[in-house]
Chain A
Amino acid sequence: MTAMIFKLRGEPGQRLDLSVLTPQQLNGLSETDLAALTVGAGKAPPTLGDIFGITMGDPADIRIVGGGARLDGIGAGLTRGRIVVEGDAGAYAARGMTGGDLHIAGSAGPFAGSGMAGGLMHIGADAGDWLGAPGTGEMTGMRGGTIVVAGRVGDHAGDRMRRGLIAVGGNAGDFPASRMIAGTLAIFGDCGRLPGYMMRRGTILVGGHSTAWTPTFGESGVVELTMLRLILRELKAWLPDAGLAAFEGPVQRYAGDLAALGKGEIIQPAA
């Protein structure tokens, strides 16, 4: 069965909530029902049919042709199946996702993977601030699954992350893995200020340098960590040119944040 295709008719006039575009919500709907689904706000909220040209197909294989920063909530709550975005995504992509695959060929806005608990999100370009972070008022950020970003990410990537893996092929902004509870944030480029600020547990890989290392981390030796091999093997297919091999040999380990629980770590390739 071919994919169900949503072709963007043009730049939407307002921010859209596309969290309805998941297999579990589209399954069994007719084309008419699909087209009538509301995806915006206001007195005359736009419907899917207003925004997209729809080609019926397998609801477990969704393809969004065209994209933009106003397409919010793509893949939010996804539990199974596959969504491919041939363009950019707005805010909250894969928010609360628990399974399935979301592939965004372009960039994603802020709060991508927020509260994500399972599945895979792959972003072909950049991601905004608060990648994998908690939503407003929530205690934990990402709780499972994998996020791979080929390009750069904004500030606070992995904030209050609890479990799972975020891999960034390029650079990261300030405060990566701030308040991290556990999990892994791998940055194969440089990062901004204070990586691991107030982290309790978890792992941060930094392939390059930080503009300001967090001072409350303690030097913990040059070691070989077999665990890194498992992570790198997972990422090899997604980030073939990110310099993963630098972590296969001895690495420099720093333990912290000693201002918090101090059971986390920052790992860099050994000099």
Chain B
Amino acid sequence: MSDLTPKTGLWDRLTGRSDVSAGAMAGSEPAQDAYAQHNGVRVDETFAEAFPMSATAVIITAPTIEWARIAAISMTGFATSVIGCGCEAGIDRELPPEETPDGRPGVRVLVFAMSPADLEKHTINRVGQCVLTCAGTACYSGLTADTRIKLGTNLRYFGDGHQSSKVVAGRRYWRIPVMEGEFLCESHAGMTGEAVGGGNLLILGRTARETLAATEAAVHAMREVPDTILPFPGGMVRSGSKVGSKYAFMIASSNEAYCPTLRAISNSSLDPGVNSVLEIVIDGLSYDAVAESMRVGLATLIEVGARGGVVAVSAGNYGGKLGPHHFHLHELMS
């Protein structure tokens, strides 16, 4: 399911009620006279509605970039949405040796969660299961901040009393003996409560193949924006959801307004020429980072244009009543 669905717990917190049977997102219904054409692409006059999140960054290093990548991919697996995964995580960027603490190739991973406690829990679990276990790796804080979450200071107990700490340049590291040699992990990682989750772009395309290609191009460009991740597979999500369901046990379900196969039997939001919709969800360490990512993505989609099969670009929101961060598409283009 897409991140557009209000998060478990977040819905209650923001609305003061636990009834999640509200309707679909409001951003899908722009006024017909509010459309603007850019290179043949209609950009809806709407906005993406995003939410505050807690986030951290860790740097994973290894003897080779391949092994750092393996650990990072493993750590960020099954972390597409806080709804079902507890956290959202992804690779921010790869780091050359001169940019890592230990002079080895590395990967910077970002993790987002709905609270500092959740963030700490899921980060420790993921580093413990996917980095500690991965040959040759070490793990460091990738974010300098006054607020920190525990990292190595909890993982050290794996050493069963044989662990030791080392303070270098004022930062504490834990050395945990493992069969391969030693796993080195910084005691804490910086955390920000100013992170933003749920920035998004909806790409409405002519055919599935063209929509995929255009979205791939946007994802490719957006991945260059620092301090952001696109947590879904390949950076995009095909199953945008609406809040609620006909089934009481589902808090979110398929957003039929955007499903091309339901056009004839639902209150569809799709124009006749639209036959596939993909969504890009963006989490960032700051509002500015998410805005920059969306701007880059939007610019790329416009560049692909109608000739590339992009009919329209829209965004998902809840009418502006739930999330404090609003990313207006037209403002991003100005």
Contact = CB atoms under 8 A, between A and B. Distances in A.
Interface string B161-194: 0001011110001010000011010000000000
Contacts, number: 45
A234 B167 CA distance: 12
Given A233-B102, A233-B103, A184 B61 contact: no
B104 A227 contact: no
A229 B182 contact: no
B184 A234 contact: no
A144 B169 CA distance: 10
B39 to A, nearest CB: 49
Contacts of A144: 167
Interface string A171-188: 000000000000010000
Contact of B164 (A146, A201, A230): A201
B170 to A, nearest CB: 9
Contacts of A260: none
A230 B173 CA distance: 10
Contact of A234 (B138, B164, B169, B182): B169
B291 to A, nearest CB: 35
Interface residues of B, number: 16
Contacts of B182: 223, 225-227
B61 A230 contact: no
Q: Is the interface of B mostly helix, strand, loop or mixed?
A: strand
Greatest chain B CB density within 10 A among A226, A229, A230 is at: A226
B27 interface: no
B209 to A, nearest CB: 45
B40 interface: no
B260 interface: no
17 contacts: A163-B167, A165-B168, A201-B164, A223-B182, A224-B181, A227-B173, A227-B175, A229-B102, A229-B103, A230-B101, A230-B166, A230-B184, A231-B166, A231-B168, A233-B102, A234-B169, A263-B164
Given A146-B169, A230-B173, A263-B164, 10 more contacts: A163-B167, A165-B168, A226-B61, A227-B168, A227-B175, A229-B104, A230-B166, A230-B169, A230-B184, A231-B168
A-B complex: 3 closest residue pairs judged by Cβ atoms: A229-B102, A226-B184, A226-B138
Interface of B: 61, 101-104, 138, 164, 166-169, 173, 175, 181-182, 184
